[in-house]
Amino acid sequence: MTVEENIDFIKAQIAVFQTMERDNVRIVAAKRSQVAALREEVSELRERVRSVRTSLISDARLPSIAALQERVNLETRIKRGERTQQEFETLLIRLGETSGSWRDVESRLAALPPGDLTETDENKLKTLERSFRNQLRTYGLSSTSPDTLAVSRENYKPIHEGFDIEFNNSASDLIRTLWAYYTALLETSVAFGGNHPGLLILDEPRQQSTARQSFGTFLRHLADPSLAAQQVIVATSEEDAVLKTLLEGQTFQYIDFEGKILRRLPESG
């Protein structure tokens, strides 16, 4: 057997011995209870024997010691039975509460959808997937067909034919995928009122020599009126004239920084 098979075999053997140990512990506990009950019974019989012996040699005019002892034993048994009955009734009440909780859990489990996702969650993922693919079509994805891409139902990340996305032939297509995915998340949250903070910040999104035409399509998509209530910030080193041409006819706020954006604070006097 391989090392992995040997490890699995040993683990199975350990599990068997652990089960045997638990069974033996239960058996020993039951035997101890039986021994305790037998010892108590033996003790009572000894008391009866002593009482009978004392009665045989005592004055006949006095009450029988054995009879008195028997009465005491009966009273003890009655009290013990009453305590046992009270404990049993308490357990019945707790069992009823547990039974009610169990029925509630069963009804809630029965109400769950057959899959891992509710119908609303599935609609959200389909909307996310649809926006993701549609954007990639407009951005000019070329390494593969956008229809072969999907959103994982396990971790909600983009996948290609069931696996994580890797574009070995085009790093620029990987950048296009990131554009589409981040924007699709924002759009889906807007459509369904999700937990997205409504803030999307992109630092130099045009990487890996992505075509300027694709970049322009992406910027115009971000300027769509449907995202007007969201905050989208794009930091780029593209030339002013190029950006204004790409965004011609769109509503946006342009802030130009001369020199470095992050600067060292002047030393205080």
DSSP for the chain, written as a single string:
--HHHHHHHHHHHHHHHHHHHHHHHHHHHHHHHHHHHHHHHHHHHHHHHHHHHHHHHS-TTSPPHHHHHHHHHHHHHHHHHHHHHHHHHHHHHHHHHHHHHHHHHHHHHHHS-SSSS-HHHHHHHHHHHHHHHHHHHHHT--SS-GGGEEE-TTT--EEETTEE---SS-HHHHHHHHHHHHHHHHHHHHHHT-S--SEEEEES---TT--HHHHHHHHHHHT-GGGTTSEEEEE----HHHHHHHTTT---------S-SS-PPPPP-
24-43 pLDDT per residue, tens: 999 998 898 888 888 888 88
pLDDT of residue 183: 95
pLDDT of residue 127: 95
pLDDT of residue 56: 63
149-200 pLDDT per residue, tens: 999 988 899 998 878 776 555 788 989 999 999 999 999 999 998 889 999 9
Please give the model's pTM, rounded to 2 decimal places: 0.57
The tens-digit pLDDT sequence of the chain (269 residues) is: 677 888 888 888 898 999 999 989 999 988 988 888 888 888 877 877 777 666 666 555 556 666 667 777 788 888 888 888 888 889 989 898 898 888 888 888 888 777 778 888 999 999 999 999 999 999 999 888 999 999 998 889 999 887 877 655 578 898 999 999 999 999 999 999 888 999 999 999 988 778 889 999 999 999 988 888 899 999 998 888 898 899 999 988 888 888 777 888 888 75
pLDDT of residue 62: 55
pLDDT of residue 162: 78
